[in-house]
Amino acid sequence: MLDSGQKVYRSIYSLTATHRPFEWLTHRLVVGLDQVETNGFRLNRHSSGRVGISGRQGDKRLEFRNTDNFSFDYSGTLTYEPLAGLSLATSSGVQYYERSSEWLAGRGSRFAVPSLETISAGETRETSDGFSANKTIGMYVQEQMSWQNRIFLTGALRGDDNSAFGADYDFVVYPKLSASWVVSEESALEGMDWMNSLRLRGAWGKAGQQPDQFAAVRLYTPEPGFQGAGGVTPLTIGNSDVQPEVGVETEIGFDAGLFNDRIGLEFTYYDQRRTNALISVPVKPSTGFPGSQLRNIGEIQNKGIELGLNVDAYQGATVGVALGMALHMNENEVLDLGGLDPIPVFGRNFTTGWTGQRHAVGFPLGSIFLPVVVSSTIEGTGLAARATNVMCESGPIAAPGTRITRGGGAAVPCTSGETAPEVYRGSTVPTREVGFNATVSFQDNTRFYVDLQYVGGHTMVDGITAGSHLFFRNTLAINEKTDPIFLGYDEIGEVNPTGVFDASQLTMRSVSLSHTFSGDMAARLGASRLNLTLSGQNLWRMWRAQSEAFGHPIVDSEIRDTRGTSTDPGGISAYTQDGFPMFKRFLATVRVTW
């Protein structure tokens, strides 16, 4: 029997101080600390049967982790008007961010009897601990110009340094330019009563993404040496030249208020190119180091649109209804890999990835490439049945020297996974997101709010389903052996295609009911305002594009690691297994103002 859980304790502290010694000078200081303590456990209880992969004699793991996020932000703004109608604002500031994490983990396995469930009672005991920290310091200067309160121009320079930069790389500077024009205040648009406001805007700028905190450092791990003496062995090779990847983005759009601001409309088109993109490249065996190395060799393009719509649908004497919608469409493409062949994301070796994920020119970052069986012939019956004449989808080869293709070609024999064409199965990152919210107000003191979220256009691999089918072989499909496509994958030795699924879904993300009590009620507490809010998050998965694969239920598509690792710096893993879904949360909040 498997039992697991996690407790999270979080404390947030913030201090803000604003000082205005003169009409033309304002400066501000913000200091914050966010502390998170996480305690997790996982227990495979002793059993006479096999429990998971830890064995029948049980296994227990504990982990304690403390994470601190400290921030310091100082800024000052000088404003003046050299000419009538012309306003200038000069700003400058410095920011410091530090994130540190310390953890202690323990594991005990092989318990003598079922009643023993502590780490110290395990026949085999292991402990580990660690500490990591990352620091960033940045400074900026900005000039903003306003003409007649209609035309706004802004130019800025920002410089950053980060502890993860390589020893051979130093300070980096990012420029920014933006402009906006309030067209609705021009005389040419006077008399258009249905348009309350219209602002056109555009921006261009650069921003950086820091590398993994240990990307620049050569690391070793302790191992027992000769005759049990202490020793070390290579862990990661590091890269002293590693630097931040730089995003250059251009965006244009507009904001409009229509029909007495009953309708609000926002539109943005963006095009971003990430140069010096951080790509995880397998290390040559001749170096003596395993794994991969982060290198600044890639170029990636992201482009898309964002659309926001807010409608004041109804305003009555006692009831009001407001609706909101947000649409985000995105596509990304790898433009360059520095001349390298497609790179496995989670590769067990240098030719095939664990889930078939690769960074390949002309495809989205971390795309999935796996064989697609289109037909086979079943010979035999019952447990003796097997697939023959297995045919796979083909198509034009997308990269010389590989088997990856976009598909769409004629069926070809695929007698084994090593010769089957690897077909593009989709992006691992959602390509479309839609949010919808509604607010209903009663008597100006009660508000009901609901928020729905749709994400789609992405593909994932459920390791539990794939493993149940063709690794542990304990599903109905592998025992009945009646599906020719399923048996085709079994015949060519491809496990993960049986867990591929469309991860699109619609979720009721949050619901809340808020009531502000009358002044008399608050006055009884000596307060000026009293508010009560009841809310819930992640309450209902309303729709899923795919809930099973070959008859086996698929886990929640939000169970995956998006944090990024040394082998997947982008946090784009398509593989999910043994994770927790988004927890349902219920909150009751009381706010009292004195």
Residue 27, Cα to own-chain centre: how many angstroms?
34
- CA-to-CA distance for 54 and 61, rounded, in angstroms? 11
Confidence bin at 383 (pLDDT 50/70/90): confident
What's the pLDDT at 508?
96
Domain count, the chain: 1
What's the pLDDT at 351?
37
What's the pLDDT at 418?
67
191-195, 309-313, 393-397, 458-462: which range is least confident on average?
191-195
Facing residues of 95 across strands? 73, 138
Q: For residue 35, what are the contacts with CB-CB under 8 A and spacing of at least 6?
A: 10, 11, 12, 13, 66, 67, 68, 69
Q: 445 near 515, Cβ under 8 Å?
A: yes
Asked if the structure places residue 491 within a domain, the reply is yes
In the numeric block, the tokens 């730089």 are attached to 246
Confidence bin at 417 (pLDDT 50/70/90): low
Asked if the structure places residue 418 within a domain, the reply is yes
More confident residue, 173 or 306: 306
Phi, psi of 37 (to 5 degrees): -115, 125
Q: Does the structure show a pLDDT above 60 at 349? A: no
- CA-to-CA distance for 421 and 412, rounded, in angstroms? 9
190: three-class secondary structure by DSSP: coil
Confidence bin at 348 (pLDDT 50/70/90): very low
Instruction: Write out pLDDT tens, residues 38-89.
Output: 999 888 877 654 444 444 578 889 999 999 999 999 999 999 999 998 999 9
Instruction: Write out pLDDT tens, residues 235-291.
Output: 777 777 777 888 899 999 999 999 988 999 999 999 999 888 777 777 877 787 877
Per the structure block, which two tokens stand in for 233? 């062995």
Closest C-alpha among 366, 369, 427, 428 to residue 569: 366
313-317, 368-372, 417-421: which range is least confident on average?
417-421
Asked if the structure places residue 361 within a domain, the reply is yes
Asked if the structure places residue 520 within a domain, the reply is yes
225: three-class secondary structure by DSSP: coil
Q: Is 371 exposed, middle or buried (0-12, 13-18, 19+ CB in 10 A)?
A: buried
21-25, 213-217, 310-314: which range is least confident on average?
213-217
Per the structure block, which two tokens stand in for 250? 């251009």
What's the pLDDT at 346?
57
Residue 298, Cα to own-chain centre: how many angstroms?
20
More confident residue, 236 or 175: 175
More confident residue, 295 or 565: 295
- CA-to-CA distance for 445 and 529, rounded, in angstroms? 11
Instruction: Write out pLDDT tens, residues 178-214.
Output: 999 999 888 877 778 888 899 999 999 998 877 777 7
Asked if the structure places residue 383 within a domain, the reply is yes
What's the pLDDT at 565?
46
Asked if the structure places residue 516 within a domain, the reply is yes
- CA-to-CA distance for 332 and 312, rounded, in angstroms? 35
pTM reported for the whole predicted model: 0.79
Question: What's the domain range around 470?
Answer: 341-594
Asked if the structure places residue 356 within a domain, the reply is yes
Measured CA to CA in angstroms, residue 402 lies from 82, 102, 459 at distances of 64, 42, 22
Instruction: Write out pLDDT tens, residues 514-568.
Output: 999 887 777 777 788 889 999 999 999 999 999 999 999 998 888 765 544 444 4
Instruction: Count Cβ neighbours within 10 Å for each residue of 257-269 and write b for 16 or more, e otherwise.
Output: bbeeeebbebebe
Asked if the structure places residue 594 within a domain, the reply is yes
- CA-to-CA distance for 98 and 76, rounded, in angstroms? 22
Instruction: Write out pLDDT tens, residues 425-481.
Output: 999 989 999 999 999 999 888 999 999 999 999 999 999 999 999 999 999 999 999
